[in-house]
Amino acid sequence: MSSKPRIAHAATHTQNNFLRRFVFSTDHKIIGLQYFFLAFAAVTIGTILSLLIRFHLVWPAAHLPFVAGGIMTPEQYLALVTMHGTIMVFFVLTTAPQSAFGNYFLPLQIGAPDMAFPRLNMLSFWLTLLAFLVMLSAFLVPGGAPISGWTAYPPLSGLGEITGPGEGMGQSLWVASVLIFCVASLLGSINFISTTIDMRAPGMTLTRMPLTVWAWFVTAILSLLAFAVLLAGGILLVLDRVAGTSFFLPAGLVVSGEVQTHDGGSPLLWQHLFWFFGHPEVYIAILPGMGVVSHILANFSRKPVFGYRAMAFAICAIGFLGFLVWGHHMFVSGMNPYSGLTFSLLTVSIGVPSAVKTFNWLGTLWGGRIQFHSPMLFAIGFVSFFVTGGLSGIFLAQPAVDTELHATYYVVAHFHIVMGVAAIFGIFAATYYWFPKMFGQRMSEPLAKLHFWVTFVGVYCIFMPMHFVGIAGGIRRYADSTGATYLAALEPLHRFMTIAAFITAAAQLIFFYNLFRSLKSGERGVENPWLATTLEWTTASPPPADNFAGCFPSVYRGPYEYSVPGAAQDFLPQHLAPEKLPSGGEERNHAR
Amino acid sequence: MSKVSARPPFSGSASPALVLAVLLVIFVAATVYVVVARLYPAPPPISQDAVQVDHQYNLTLYVTGAAFVLAQLGLAWAVFRFRDRGQKASHIRGNVALEILWTSVTAIAFVGLGILGRNAWAGARFAPAAPGAIQIEVTTNQFVYTFRYPGPDGKFGRLDPSLVSAPAGNPLGIDPNDPAGRDDIVVASLTVPVNRPIELLVRSQDVVHNFFVRELRLQQDAVPGMVIPVHFTADRIGTYEIVCTQLCGLGHYKMHGLLNVVSESDYDAFLKREALPQ
């Protein structure tokens, strides 16, 4: 690709108008930061909701000052559960790893001046923000937020207020928000895919792309295919709710003594459509984290990623298989049992590329010179959580075993560790790693380490006991433990988890403080503080509007050339031509 | 362009590596202890299908447990052993033989578990209920279980949604004009004879609910518009709790029923007691 049109295009960024530069910006870096702070707001709200959930589970009769009537009702509890899940999945786990960091760093890492479609990029962000505001507004309408969970199974979600509080206007706003979010994600994914295919610097072949870029690229393909289906499903749900159609609603429904007029729909159809999106969504949340972790482990072990090609292939394999396993959410749904077996075998197969990733991460650490900077600690934490949460999934992947564990806290523990916490650790690792690039300042390292230790221990204290609550029969989404006699025995564990949750949440204040303090007055960073190899470290911090100040890089080698024998320095940047390398000889065996 | 310095400075202290390794070891030890000591066990199984599920669960626990311990301790060892002591990192790009080895081992282990897991699932779900199984209908609505026995004629009466009226004593909407329905027994808890195959016909009137008895390791969603057959043979007399595990509305947490597994004679007595006078 010639560099002329890129520079011409990049010139549009240099306008000095504040609104144009920082609010209605088409600069992928500003948009990345906008997504970052949106996710930041969302994770704050989502965490507060989770603390209310944990508090209520342990002290259900406590008087809360901001709850109408003082004591939280079951429907208020379910509204918290629904909104916590929805906000975290869509506006944090989808938004931060992919839309925020992907937006900021994908063009930088491939040597491009911006995303392929900058205006579309801006539209994606503003639609996401709109979706977030619509979602939050569900709290404010009569009846409150919906109570049907983030999975919104009809008929509970399809009939309006008659099925419960929050199922009227609250559920309508929920669906509207999800639909807007789908459109935003579709536009975003088109942008990511086009940019990766079309805008790579000369020499940036596919096998020289950082694994972060591979991860964002495959995640974008997953988003394109998954959100399209959720968009369709959501539209059908809206039609069932407002237009009297019956896509998900069968004949003969009697709700609260009233016969409904729907006829011919299938509640299972929604479950298929939802999980066709919902399972790939897990990988949309986690794949970018895997990319970031591979990247950081290599950087701070001062070693190449072990088995780069296998790692890139594993990302693709996980992405592909991720579309074939949605039925494992439906083993007890009434789906044909033979389908259950098929989905089961496909699901355990995902364990194979996942194990390849884990082994290769260990292989990357092995023989390294490991430097325990805060991004590295969070990356290692990610690996530990991924192992724990991945292996607990092997139980749930088998329909017979799932029959015992389905819908218990075991499932909640599993997906929080592997999808929630691991992905969040990926976000933390990325934040600490790239903060000096994004803001030209460094975050306080002692505070970052303190944040890591408390969070790492705290997370295991919250979620390991949760597995045991599930094995002992604790059912998720229960507003209190009076529903069955055996639940009372689990209260000590719940109390322990709640205390751990409050301590862990408090530790996040250290992160908040560190982030905002460093934004205002962090130590001035150097351009390449981690002595890294990839292109984002070849430009100023923060990068200029066109990313490379008109001087676009060419790429001469793979992304993880650390500790190359015979080289004078322990890292060989991607952009340095062989003849420009410091004396000491060019690396050997660099045929890539 | 970035300045090139030769190598990162020696990062000094060994403590993060040591602390991280020790934390991982403590965490693995605590988890293994809770599992091995069976501090939070599932209740004992009361059917052969449930025993099969437990068997598969244990097999999975051994395989994943070994992988868990090895991977976490391997991670702990790697971070401690290869901490920065000023050494030069080795330039290893990968090892095809090793990668093929561990890919194959995990493929065999995980897919093997999946294939073995077929048995417990097939036993409970693939085959229909044994001939002569007692049919009982389970109907769910917000937030109640209702059970219907076909009565002496062995036939369930026709249901009509427009006749559903709990206040009028017809929560299921049984059509009074259908003779097959006149002897149907409608009760609020499930009573079955021990060691006899039971076939449940699970259905729902309003939203998706679930029928879960932990001791049977039997969990089935109740989906409106569908009648889903599941079967079991309980081999231990006792009373067990039925809970709803599918979010069904504000009363989800208190949707609750009882399964009474009784002797054959107690079962006959139950049927007599509940039978409507003809």
Cβ partners under 8 Å of residue B269, min gap 6: none
Contact B8 A582 (CB under 8 A): no
Residue type for position A234: G
Is residue A241 within 8 Å of residue A175, measured between CB atoms? yes
Confidence at residue A17, expressed as pLDDT on a 0 to 100 scale: 78
- Of B135, B161, B159, B163, nearest to B149 (Cα)? B135
Contact B252 A366 (CB under 8 A): no
Of A204, A346, A211, nearest in space to A290 by CA: A211
pLDDT, tens digit (0-9, with 9 covering 90-100), for A487-528: 999 999 999 999 999 999 999 999 999 999 998 876 676 789
Give the integer Cα–Cα distance in Å for A508 and A513.
9
> In B, residues 209-248, which contact A (CB 8 Å cutoff)?
210, 212, 214, 217-221, 223-226, 228, 241, 243-248
The sign of the torsion formed by the CA atoms of A166, A172, A173, A177 equals positive
Cross-chain residue pair B243–A484, CB shorter than 8 Å: yes
**Which residues of B fall within a CB distance of 8 Å from A457?**
23
- Cβ–Cβ < 8 Å for A274, A536: no
3-class secondary structure, B213:
strand
Tokens of B219: 């969990």
Instruction: Let me know if A352 is exposed, middle or buried by CB neighbors in 10 A (0-12, 13-18, 19+).
Output: buried
Instruction: Tell me which chain B residue has its CA closest to the CA of residue A341.
Output: B118
With residue A516 as reference, give the H or E element that holds it: helix A491-521
Q: How confident is the model at residue A342 (pLDDT cuts 50, 70, 90)?
A: very high
Identify the three-state secondary structure at position A298: helix
Q: What value does the mean pLDDT take over residues B171-182?
A: 94
A276: which residues sit within 8 A by CB, 6+ positions away? A226, A229, A323, A326
Token pair in block for residue B101: 């080895």
Q: What is the 3-state secondary structure (H, E, C) of A350-403?
A: HHHHHHHHHHHHHHHHCCCCECCCHHHHHHHHHHHHHHHHHHHHHHHCCHHHHH
Instruction: Indicate if the pLDDT at residue A80 is higher than 50.
Output: yes
Work out the percent of chain A whose per-residue pLDDT is above 90: 88
Looking at chain A, which residue has its C-alpha nearest residue B8?
A: A531
Across the interface, whether the CB atoms of B87 and A369 are under 8 A apart is answered yes
β-bridge partners, B238: B261
- Residue from the list A251, A347, A475 with its beta carbon closest to the beta carbon of B243: A475
Taking CA A128 as the corner, what is the angle to CA A124 and CA A133, rounded to the nearest 5 degrees?
150
Q: How far apart are CA A53 and CA A69, in angstroms?
A: 17
Second-level CATH architecture of B134-274: Sandwich (2.60)
Q: Which of B57, B162, B226 sits opposite A404 (nearest CB)?
A: B57
Inter-chain residue contact A304 with B251, CB threshold 8 Å: no
B207 contacts in chain A (CB < 8 Å): 153-156, 163, 255
Whether B58 contacts chain A with CB within 8 A: no
Whether A525 has its CB under 8 Å from any CB of chain B: the answer is: no
Q: Which residues of B touch A406 (CB under 8 A)?
A: 219, 245
| The two three-digit tokens of residue A524, written as one number | 């001035």
Inter-residue contact A128 to A99 (CB < 8 Å): yes
The residue extents of the domains of chain A are 4-249+262-580
The angle at the Cα of A144, spanning A140 to A148, to the nearest 5 degrees, equals 135
User: B69 pLDDT exceeds 90?
Assistant: yes
A326's CB contacts (< 8 A; 6+ apart) are: A272, A275, A276, A278, A279, A280, A343
Residue A526 confidence (pLDDT): 76
Judged by CB atoms closer than 8 Å, whether chains meet at A367 and B89 is answered as yes
Lowest mean pLDDT among A523-532, B155-164, B166-175: A523-532
Among the partner-chain residues A250, A306, A332, the one whose CB lies closest to the CB of B221 is A332
Q: Which residues of chain B does A482 touch, with a Cβ-Cβ cutoff of 8 Å?
A: 253-254
| Chain A residues touching residue B174 (CB < 8 angstroms) | none
Burial zone of A161 (CB within 10 Å; 0-12 exposed, 13-18 middle, 19+ buried): middle
Confidence label for B54 from pLDDT (cuts 50, 70 and 90): very high
Most B CBs within 10 A among A56, A72, A75, A156, hence the mutation to make, goes to A156
- Structure token pair of residue B46: 């009361």
The answer for A 256-295 residues in CB contact with B (under 8 A) is: 256-257, 259, 265-268
Q: In Å, how far is B13's CA from the nearest CA of chain A?
A: 9
Most confident of A9-23, A66-80, A92-106: A92-106
Asked if B26 is an interface residue toward chain A (Cβ–Cβ < 8 A), one would say: no
CB A343 within 8 A of CB A325: yes
Distances (CA, A) of A241 to A31, A163, A168, A236, A249: 35, 12, 9, 9, 10
Q: Is the pLDDT of residue B137 over 90?
A: yes
Q: Give the dihedral sign, CA A307/A210/A516/A542.
A: positive
Bigger pLDDT: A313 vs B6: A313
Interface of A with B in 125-184 (CB under 8 A): 147-149, 151, 153-156, 163-165
User: Are the Cβ atoms of B98 and A400 closer than 8 angstroms?
Assistant: no
* Contacts with B, A 300-329, CB within 8 Å: 301-304, 306-310
Band of residue B3 on the pLDDT scale cut at 50, 70, 90: very low
Q: Which residue of B has its CA nearest to A549?
A: B1
Phi and psi torsions of A441, nearest 5°: -125, 165
For the stretch B93-127, pLDDT in tens is 999 999 999 999 999 999 999 999 998 999 889 98
ipTM of the complex: 0.94
Q: How far is CA A223 from CA A95, A322, A332, A336, B221, in A?
A: 11, 12, 27, 28, 29
Closest-CA residue of A relative to B12 is: A371
Scanning B257-276 for CB atoms below 8 A from A yields: none
| Interchain proximity A482–B226, CB inside 8 Å | no
Predicted local confidence at residue A591, as pLDDT? 37
Judge whether residue A111 has pLDDT over 60: yes
* Block residue for tokens 């870096």: A29
pLDDT band of B13, cuts 50, 70, 90: low
Best mutation site among B208, B247, B254, B256 for testing chain A: the one with the most A CBs within 10 Å? Answer: B247
| Option in B72, B91, B164 nearest A563 (CB) | B91
Domain ranges for chain B: 15-83+96-125, 134-274
Among A120-129, A359-368, A581-590, name the one with the lowest average pLDDT: A581-590
Distance of CA A303 to the CA centre of its chain: 27
Burial B120-152 (b: 16+ CB within 10 A, else e): bbbebbeeebeeebbbbbbbbbbbbbbbbbbbe
Measure Cα distances from A418 to A316, A387, B214 in Å: 18, 8, 26
- Is-contact B146 B201, C-beta < 8 A? no
Cα–chain-centroid distance for residue A60? 31
Burial of A353 from C-beta contacts in 10 A (0-12 / 13-18 / 19+) = buried
Share of chain B above pLDDT 90, in %: 88
Cis amide leading into A55 (omega within 30): no
Judge whether residue A6 has pLDDT over 70.
Answer: no
Does the pLDDT value for residue A589 go beyond 60?
A: no
C-alpha dihedral, B51 to B52 to B57 to B62, nearest 10°: 100
Beta carbons within 10 angstroms of residue A440's beta carbon? 16
Quote the minimal CA–CA distance from B159 to chain A in Å.
10
Res B2: pLDDT: 40
B238 Ramachandran zone, left/alpha/beta (phi>0; psi -120 to 50): left
In the structure, what pLDDT confidence band is assigned to residue A590 with cuts at 50, 70 and 90? very low
Helix (H) or strand (E) holding B172: none
Q: Which residues of A touch B141 (CB under 8 A)?
A: 254
Q: Within an 8 Å CB–CB cutoff, is residue A404 touching chain B?
A: yes
Mean pLDDT lowest among A4-18, A62-76, A536-550, B22-36: A4-18
Q: Would an 8 Å CB–CB cutoff place A494 in contact with chain B?
A: no
- Taking the Cβ of residue A550 and every Cβ of chain B, the question of whether any pair is shorter than 8 Å is answered with no
CA atoms of B243 and B250, how far apart (whole Å): 15
Amino acid identity for residue A48 in this structure? I
Averaged pLDDT, B226-234: 97
Chain B neighbours among A 330-369 (CB < 8 Å)? 332-334, 337-338, 340-341, 344-345, 347-349, 351-352, 355-356, 358-360, 362-363, 365-369
Determine the 3-state secondary structure of A574 from DSSP: coil
Architecture of domain A4-249+262-580 in this structure = Up-down Bundle (1.20)
Structure tokens at A467: 């597995």
pLDDT confidence tier of residue B7, bands split at 50, 70 and 90: low
User: Within an 8 Å CB–CB cutoff, is residue B51 touching chain A?
Assistant: no
Residues 74-133 of B with CB under 8 A from A: 74-75, 78-79, 82-95, 98-99, 102-103, 106-107, 110-111, 113-115, 117-122, 124-126
A450 part of contact set with chain B, CB < 8 Å: no
